Structure formats: C-alpha cells, structure tokens
Amino acid sequence: MNQHSLDRRHHYKDVELLIDQGFILHHTSVLGVSLTLRSLFPREIREVTAQTHDKGVFFYRLWVVVRSLYSVNGWLIDDPLELYSFVRQFPKKLIHRLFYQTLGLMNRYQRSMEIAQAYAYEPYGRHTWFTYGRDIPQNGFGLVNGIQTLWQFVNIIEDRFEDSEMHWNHAKFIASAMSPKGVKKQNSKDEQAKKKRESDREQYILKALKFQVMEGDSETPILVNAKTDEELMAEYKRWVAGEQDNHDLIVQNYKESIRAGMEQRDEEARARVAELVGDGERGVFSATTLMGEETIKEAFKSSVRSIEHEGSQKRLYKRFLGREEVGGDFFVDENGSVKRR
C-alpha cells in the first residue's frame, strides 16, 4: 500500500461509514434536546415519495424528518413511524430546519456515491471487501444503499479479473516449457498492460477526488445549509475568518484556473511586445479604447501591428477577479464590526 493512497484515505470517511453501517449521522440540538439524524436508504426515499404524493412539500419534508430521526437524547428509536404524531406538533419552521439538516446528509451521500468506485480501487477498499467475506455488511434496517451496491459490483469484477489473471499465469507457466522466449515476450506485454491499468486507476481516483480538500480539511464534513438569520451570520463569520467548505473550494479552484490562464495570456502579450520592439517596429498599439486609434492605424496602415488582448474578457476579469475580496482579509473586532486587516 503506497503512501499516496494512505494520505487520501480520510476523503473516504463517509464512504466507509456508508459501507460499514449503511448510513451516516448528523447530531443537532433543539431546545436542549439532543437529536441525531441519519441518512435514508434509497428504498426509504421511494417510500416517502409515494406516501406523500399529492400531499404537498410540507408533508414530504415532515416524513423525511420522521424517517431520519435516529436517536433522541441518546435513546435509539426502534420505530420512527411512532414519532409521527409527536413530530407533527413541531413548529413548521423547526421541521423545515431539520429537513435541511437531512438534506445536508443527502448531499454527503451523493458525494460519497461519486467516489465510491475510486474507494473500491484503493488497497483498503479491497481489504474491506475481504474482511466482510466478499459480501455487503448487514445493518439493523435490513436495507442496502447505492454505495454498497456499487462497491460490491466493482469488487466482484475485480475478483473475476484476478481469477482470470491467475489462470493465464498458469497457462504461461505450462507454455514456458515449450516456448520460453515466446512466454518471456508475452510477460513483457502483460507487465506493460498491468502498469497502464494501474496508471489509469490512479488517474481515475485523482479525477474523482479533484473537488476534495487536498490538505487542511476538517475531520467532520461541514454542513452548510444556512436558512435562518443565525445560520447566515455563522456562515458569514466563517467567510470572514477564511474558512471554506467544499463548495467554496470548487469555486476558488475554478477562479484560480482563470487567473492562471489570464496570467499566461499577459505573459505572452508582454513577450510579443518585446519581440516587436526588438524588430524595430515604428509603433505598437494595444486593442484598448484609444482616442483616434482607427485614424492612427489608417495613417500607418500595414506598418502597424496590434496585439488583441485587452478586450471584454480582460475588462470582466479586472472587474470580478482582478481585485476580488476574499475571506481571511477581514476580522470581527470587539464591537462586532467587520474590518480589513
């Protein structure tokens, strides 16, 4: 097991929980009462959807919350359906808030689904498969989620590939007695194919994890579903402090790629200007708005070269990305006011 694989294992924390116990948990508190919510299985989502058909959004959210309740003050709930009459008395605002917490769990489930195949390719993903006897671990609900199904499918394919490879090696061993040179040549081809397969797997894993926090991420995924004034203020304070969730990092990485591309274009433009000046050009005009530019170009005609760089894209870049205010540049003073550092 290589170190790179071990270093990225923490990205699969939710995936391993969804495989081991079938669901992930989120703890919250309501009026001093400790509640634990769990992610729902696909079958439960289908049942809630059918159960609340034509009954409106509120009843759908209500039943999602009822199904998602896992424990109250540490006491496990054997049958969440018995809580319906109790939860039904909650204020609507509270039910909506709890629903958004379950929505955060659904988002974590969806992200785990996107990297489940990558986890199956990791050495510890295969080790988990053998640990559970090449089967999906059982849970108290007797249900299976999509991550478990995909993980099982990939591992079954891997088992068949390894069995075929073992039979092929036996065949080459027998053939080596009759044609050692031919087998040696075939071994060389097989080794190249194996290296390519490992390289393709590594590229797939890196691509699947490209939106994950590669360093400095927290052990517990952040649920950002700000709806109330308090939650919005908390989210704003995180931005002020420079803290970022996965969505912020996706946007930030995209902006950085734009900045890198613009910097490259600027460098190419500067190099072109230097080239033209070195060639002894009589004049160099950029494509910015210049009073009388067309008149000057007409006068010089073919003896003038222009560098098309300062256009609408550059103006938009300067406006939105060139001087962007980012989190961490500010702080909250003793009076609660936001100030620049």
**Extents of the domains making up the chain:** 9-208, 243-325
CB 44 within 8 A of CB 63: no
The whole-angstrom separation of Cα 304 and Cα 283 is 6
Look at residue 78 and tell me whether its pLDDT is greater than 90. no
What percent of the chain has a predicted confidence (pLDDT) above 70?
66
Cα separation of 222 and 107, whole Å?
11
Amino acid symbol at 140: G
Confidence label for 32 from pLDDT (cuts 50, 70 and 90): confident
Radius of gyration of the chain (CA): 29
Contact 321, 255 (CB under 8 A): yes
Residue 100 has pLDDT above 60, yes or no: yes
pTM confidence score: 0.58
Q: Is 64 exposed, middle or buried (0-12, 13-18, 19+ CB in 10 A)?
A: buried
pLDDT (0 to 100) of residue 282: 47
pLDDT above 50: residue 162: yes
What are the residues whose beta carbons fall under 8 Å from the beta carbon of 303, sequence distance 6 or more?
A: 282, 283
CA–CA separation, 84 and 26 (whole Å): 20
CA distance 283 to 50: 73
Task: Report the percentage of the chain scoring pLDDT > 90.
Answer: 26
Beta bridge partners of 97: none
The answer to which of 158-167, 203-212, 297-306 has the lowest mean pLDDT is: 297-306
Which structure tokens are listed for 89? 């008395």
In this structure, of 19-23, 120-124, 169-173, the range with the lowest mean pLDDT score is 169-173
Reply yes or no on whether the pLDDT at 216 is more than 50.
Answer: no
Q: Which of 259, 285, 289 is nearest to 272 (CA)?
A: 285
- State residue 147's pLDDT score: 94
Nearest one of 154, 145, 159, 261 to 201, comparing CA atoms: 154
Is the pLDDT at 332 greater than 70? The verdict is no
pLDDT at 71: 87
94 against 260, higher pLDDT? 94
Residue 299 · residue 279 · CB < 8 Å: no
